[in-house]
A and B are shown apart, each in its own frame.
Chain A
């Protein structure tokens, strides 16, 4: 899939001069980034680079100190999470964030409700809608949790909960999917599994993914941005980024040092 900006098309996500300070500490120090429709974009960086802060700025969990974020050309300033979601952006959370007391099936079904037009209805029975049930079952099939359908989500294994989290994130049919370190805390085989899953469920969608480890996103991302101390020091195709000396110095070098 070619991921470069096509001439004239509105970017799926656009950040301009984005800054965020907590007290006197500036965590995000001026970010300009444009992510095209259908692109799979990974933001990587060492610990403390501001990845999660950037993520939370894009999804309006935090308000920026300066700059703007636009989704399909629409400024997100001052919007609530539910409004942003209705514009077609869906996100996951770094710390697993599901509905633990509800069953796996209920978790997915709830994430379908709004996009299927049910809104705040108190005159429909959710059990009576075949479209809703089949939609939820299709998602369960995609994330391989059909066998866990009727268990409370809180009792699933960690990797399964992460898979469910991804299922909830994509269920609403959003065209911009944001994943916050979806493989954090996973073993190698679990990581491979989740990366495969992400590739599968985000086909034809715009994906923005924050990761600590470049290896995880290398095969998945069309473009990678490297975030160091609140600034993007490089953006490009995975092989370009890996060959960039600045990146090697600031990020990979540090990682190599840590390993040896």
Chain B
């Protein structure tokens, strides 16, 4: 049943248009360390890659299969814990295992756990599934302080990745070696997850998500379709866990708990669950906010929360949905009409939002800085948070920014309509 097709574009097989994004992504991953050479940049990129795999695996549940899980961190965490233990067995001399294969074992342990949990949790989607995932997540997180031998209690379990068999002389002492190891697994996992969505069971996952009853009358058990997606998601989460173990050499309760499970839901939704590349965007943006923004302000989680709420309320398609909204205009070659109106509305809006953030930061400083400390730096400007002037200035900038945005908004809307006027494509 795998007969080849003649005119490729129609059938969506392996043609240039399908291969190009993967080649570009691979090239991108190859050259990134030459552009951002600092150790901290590579650390951020490693974290980003791991989060991408994790988010893509989560979207196999949420986006592809319509299963809202509140406990997906467990599969990554358990995969990671097993990998740290394997690393320690290697260190103790028992096991001759090359490090690059370790994530595969993480995946298999993630798969094993998902098989057990999926056997009873995928019977129903919706609230029942969500509640079971929450319960199982809490249960296993609680185990981390009970089963100390495996989870290491509060301090977790740590290992050393450098004791594996050297691969072509590489011992993974340096961050950059780990970077390429992670990048390899990222490409492989992302490709496999993409291909999974093109298989019969992957397609039926969409069908079951949209309409489980109808799918049953096509000969498919909705429950088994969900089960297979669930197992696959557990497998790839486990791979992410294995990479986490290699990168950080420590796993703790934090890798299993609800905060982590909530974060991956947020990341995936922020990126957009409707498109395969959505979670990738979400993981990139989130990691940047988490690492770069958190250096700038203690309030980064507040801004992240606001961004999340805004996404859910105004852009349920996430960042990917927002980008893909422009596809028709791009295809018709009329996207150019949007550039100027965007600058005229989003520019002032951005200034307004930054000014609002300035006010929030000053309020925070006013309340939380030590007594007598009136001095703070905001947007590279030194100012006194106890004097009235900066407050007035920021409030004025904010009001002006939002006012200009409002004034220019109708222009953007009409440009949008003209760029998307389909003519008569009935």
Interfacial residues, chain A to chain B (CB-CB below 8 A): 59, 80-82, 85-86, 90-91, 93, 97-102, 106, 109-111, 113-133, 168-169, 172
Contacts and interface: CB of A to CB of B under 8 A. Distances in A.
List 3 A-B pairs, minimum CB-CB distance, nearest first.
A114-B219, A81-B216, A118-B200
Contacts of B214: 93, 97-99, 168
User: What's the dominant secondary structure at chain B's contact region?
Assistant: helix
A132 B12 CA distance: 13
B228 A122 contact: yes
Interface in B4-21: 4-5, 10-13
B221 A80 contact: yes
Given A114-B218, A120-B224, A131 B202 contact: no
A124 B2 contact: yes
Nearest to B207: A110
Interface string B326-366: 00000000000000000000000000000000000000000
Q: How large is the interface on B (under 10, 10 to 19, 20 to 34, 35 or more residues)?
A: 35 or more
Contacts of B213: 81, 97
A122 B199 contact: yes
A254 B222 CA distance: 42
Nearest to B11: A127
Contacts of A131: 1, 3
B85 interface: no
A175 B221 CA distance: 20
A80 B213 CA distance: 11
28 contacts: A82-B218, A82-B220, A85-B218, A86-B219, A90-B218, A97-B213, A98-B211, A99-B210, A106-B203, A110-B218, A111-B218, A113-B200, A113-B219, A114-B220, A120-B204, A122-B202, A125-B198, A126-B203, A127-B5, A127-B11, A128-B11, A129-B2, A129-B3, A130-B5, A133-B5, A133-B11, A168-B214, A169-B217
A81 B250 CA distance: 48
Nearest to A165: B214
Contacts of B1: 116-118, 124, 129, 131-132
Interface in B183-227: 195-196, 198-204, 206-207, 209-211, 213-222, 224-225
A98 to B, nearest CB: 7
Contacts of B10: 133
B210 A101 contact: yes
Given A81-B216, A114-B219, A130 B3 contact: yes
Contacts of A114: 218-220
A193 to B, nearest CB: 18
A132 B215 CA distance: 17
A97 B207 CA distance: 11
A136 B213 CA distance: 21
A80 B1 CA distance: 28
Contacts of B225: 120
A228 to B, nearest CB: 28
A167 B214 CA distance: 13
A175 to B, nearest CB: 14
Nearest to A109: B203
Contacts of A130: 3-5, 11
B232 interface: yes
Contacts of B219: 82, 85-86, 113-115, 172
A85 B188 CA distance: 37
Contacts of B206: 99, 101-102, 106, 110
Given A120-B225, A121-B199, A131-B1, 15 more contacts: A90-B218, A91-B217, A97-B211, A98-B211, A100-B211, A101-B206, A102-B206, A110-B203, A113-B203, A114-B219, A124-B1, A124-B199, A125-B13, A129-B1, A172-B218
A130 to B, nearest CB: 5
Nearest to A117: B1
A85 B201 contact: no
A190 to B, nearest CB: 18
A133 B221 CA distance: 23
